[in-house]
Structure 1
């Protein structure tokens, strides 16, 4: 069994019995995973891949929705965020050496499924940066029956001349030993702690905003500031690489807020148009974090994802028996 890790159950507001553990990636970095239990006779386990700056407590209420519908949830603090090991002296910088390193974290999460004895089939739910990590994992054979995405980072939203400038600056910064510097217009401190609710790009729901703000206020170690130049370069390169790969043969359901202002909606629409049997659902008036919109929207999305997962499990069964 893994060593117990700190877990703020009162801030997560998830299903009873939620626990966190320390695990090690193959390169030695310490990561934190969390298990939100489902019912005794569960239908499977959702592997929840969070976005950049996120942490396991943030998905307590989402996990409660899945538990009520018959599923366990296993999620993770990616390297460099949450309570996982951070790699720079300035721990507020969102940093990664190589985007491919996140796949080492995915491998550690998969190992935990067996150590914890969680039920199969497995399903994927990936948000934002987790969407890029998840899509890459699917191309590498991630063993899930079905996949779901919310605002996946298959492209980063930038306007006109900003994109080539970002490429040039991030590339030169990484090459000249400045990869640890913050990307332009970003700095320390979480978006939640330095932004007013009015006009924010994450959610239109004040209750969800307050839920997230309380978490990073009461546990400031969960906060993460802007990305490093190295992270930006690696993320841009990964999005471009993924855009050139065919869609994996896994049933896919993706959600996109109609007011998305963080990731590139055009890349999401293009990917889903080419995904055999894939479906894109637009959440009207939704911002970047559609699972952090109001409780009715969250419940509707989780119910649709559960139906999608059940269908994926049924389709996978004959193949497994063949």
Structure 2
């Protein structure tokens, strides 16, 4: 692991933040960032969503550190400062969805090598919720898990779903797998939409925080997904839905104004998760950790309490 850039000017994380390069087992270069390594209560392994990057969670790291937890965030392959996997660097692309498991394996190994505080906890947001769920099913060694608006289904009109399967499946044999999913070629969502039109948060200040990051550091921008990414994601979500929940204590957050991932898939999964708990947040959108202050306080308080409950260590003073 070598030193990597961390844009602390826009992350606004704890002052001890640092970043490292690491390699997945297939050689793809990833970036991780960590904050709060002296925290007494353990480390949150933050599996972020599609298009995201470590700096987006600087403020979340502040919230977790105030509750006794360190944070380790990752730039997945194809996004952030990790290796981009397409000739057009702003196409969100992977050849196989299970490649993200290589990334998470590398992150876990790095957390051990960096001697970050134990125990480890998983927090999966959006696409990271699908990656994290698969990792738990593979036996990821964490004490507990939390999911925020997990991508266990993609929200789309029922009549569009068969077309999405058909077009995405046909794209790779036709040499079109690297093309943008129709209608998704514009600049990253935060740059392309005004606050009034956004599906992420009802808090204008947090929306401005995300937007400022991408204006100041455009190398972090990622646009829409490729057709191959879409097909691989649909296959993975179909396969995950057929499997039983893992034996891991889980808390899942879902806003009632969710417009990106499928609420029904989340409800179905949590209804069949022994000991699992689903918390609904009235009026919240996709980014519950970046919502209005009262919502953020509730999310971070209850998330930290869930982790403490399932930790072998005493609650931090």
Instruction: Give the shorter-chain TM-score range.
Output: over 0.9
Give the distance between the partners of 2:297 and 2:76, measured in 1 at CA.
Answer: 26
Q: For residue 109 of structure 1, what is the aligned residue in structure 2?
A: 107
Runs of 4+ in 1 over 6 A off after TM superposition: none
Change over 3 Å in CA distance of 1:9–1:41 after alignment to 2: closer
Q: For 1:126 and 1:31, how far apart are their aligned partners in 2?
A: 18
Native 8 Å contact 1:62 1:298 kept in 2: no
Which residue of 176, 198, 201 corresponds with 1:200?
198
Q: Aligned ranges for residues 58-207 of structure 1 at < 5 Å?
A: 58-207=56-205
- Whether the 8 Å contact between 1:46 and 1:73 is mirrored in structure 2 is yes
Distance of 2:293 and 2:209 partners within structure 1: 12
CA drift at 1:92 = 0.6
Could you tell me the TM-score, scaled by structure 2's length? 0.97
2:310 match: secondary structure: helix
Pair 1:49 & 2:67 matched: no
**Structure 2 gaps, min length 5:** none
Note if contact 1:188-1:224 (Cα within 8 Å) is conserved in structure 2. Answer: no
Distance 1:153 1:175 in 2: 26
Partner SS, residue 200 of structure 2: coil
CA RMSD of aligned residues (A): 1.2
TM normalised by structure 1 equals: 0.96
Q: Any unmatched runs of 5+ in structure 1?
A: 318-322
Residue in structure 2 matched with residue 272 of structure 1 by the alignment: 270
The counterpart of 1:305, out of the listed 295, 303, 306, is 303
Shift of 1:209: 0.3
Report the number of matched residues. 314
Hey, what's the Cα distance between the residues in 1 that align with 2:150 and 2:173? 28
| Shift of residue 37, structure 1, vs aligned partner | 1.4
SS of the equivalent of 1:124 reads strand
- SS of the residue 1:42 aligns to: coil
Aligned to 1:290: 288
Q: Please state how far the C-alpha of 1:41 moved relative to its aligned partner.
A: 5.2
Using the TM superposition, give the Cα deviation of residue 231 of structure 1 relative to its aligned residue in structure 2, in angstroms: 0.2
